[in-house]
Amino acid sequence: MNKKNYDKIGETVYTETAACGLRTVIIPKKGFTKTYALLCTDFGSIDRHFKVSGKEVTIPDGVAHFLEHKMFEQEDGGNAFDKFAVYGANANAFTNFDMTAYLFSTSQNYEECLSHLLSYVSHPYYTDENVEKEQGIIGQEIKMYDDSPDWRVFFGMLEDMYCEHPINIDIAGTCEEIAKITKETLYTCYKSYYHPRNMLLCVVGNADPQTVMEIVDKEIPETPFEKATTILPHEPETVSREYSELYMDVANPLFMIGFKETPCEDVTAALAKYSVLCELVFGKSSKLYNELYDEGLIFGMGADYSIGKQYALVEISGEGKNPKEVYGRVLARIKEIKENGFDREELEIIKRALYGKFVKSLNDTDAMAVAFASDYLLGGDYLQRGGRILEVTYEDIMDILQKGLKHSVLSAVYPNGENK
């Protein structure tokens, strides 16, 4: 078993690939009573066109999310959640653009919980009847999200930004698309992406590395595997459209400003640099934020950076009186910094503050496991991010501003009946 010490932050990570091929990461936390385990597969909503066994397969939108829902149903008629409840654990699952994850957190019986997690995810059970039933359930979920202003303004931004990349498609799909899903569709995707060699187990907290590996070897046998290769379309540098708007039941206009960036191979470095840039230029302590707030143009605003399979973007979300005015001011502030630079001392303050937040996050087993697994599947290392933040230079930020943040969009949701 490989062991890596992160002396500056007092963390130790154990990694090993089990006999079945499952990549396993254990981060023991001394003094913690809670254990959090995350079993994820490198299969998300954007993996809708792939090649396996020499054949190309295109699946309906929303299959990854649909499959996540169906994994909890057991052949004996039970539900995987029931046993977690007996063990005193909380369990859940989620699907995003890049991966699907199954998880639990508990302060007792973690070994039994881990065995159950590995077991039920290894035994899918799909029938025509339970697929049809789930179509109705997920159809209601889709309609619920269609009525969510926050969700609509977010996907409005993605639709504005991306021309061909499937990140512009809702993770749950549409009612029309999920109606095309069959049990054969689910089994095809399961066999193509849910093999241990395409998955990762991350355990954080009160756990013994050797015990974890023994449970993995016991629960998951070795089986043949031919990995599917996701096929993503060519995406132009330019955006699909610069502006979109909707009218919904909101008290004040909502907005999301997006910048379409070029994905970076060094994921850890990119996440560190862009987190500093987002806080420096758009964060609550920034000149821009305070000017907009003092003038009553925003009631709140935040910025974040996302990176995944052949996509990267900066998103600025907020609530305010005039989204178009805010958008113009954001672009103007970026231009101003490009031309005149910024305060180097402010950079150091931002870096120290972000490093403090990073260290604080290490006490949250749930968030730490999700962040570590997400970065790991993209080739990054979450536990190095704090150190990389401290290494960000003035020149790094100016380089991003000069080369990136060029292609932008604005998505807005206005109150029903408002005359802009």
Give catalytic residue positions.
68
Provide CB contacts within 8 A for 340, sequence distance 6+: none
Distance, CA of 58 to CA of 156 (rounded, Å): 24
Sheet strands (E) in 100-224? 100-106, 199-205
Contact 51, 228 (CB under 8 A): yes
Element (H, E) at 219: helix 209-219
Instruction: Please state the φ and ψ torsions of residue 100, each to the nearest 5 degrees.
Output: -120, 135
Q: In sequence order, what are the beta bridge partners of 252?
A: none
Token code pair at residue 123: 């035994």
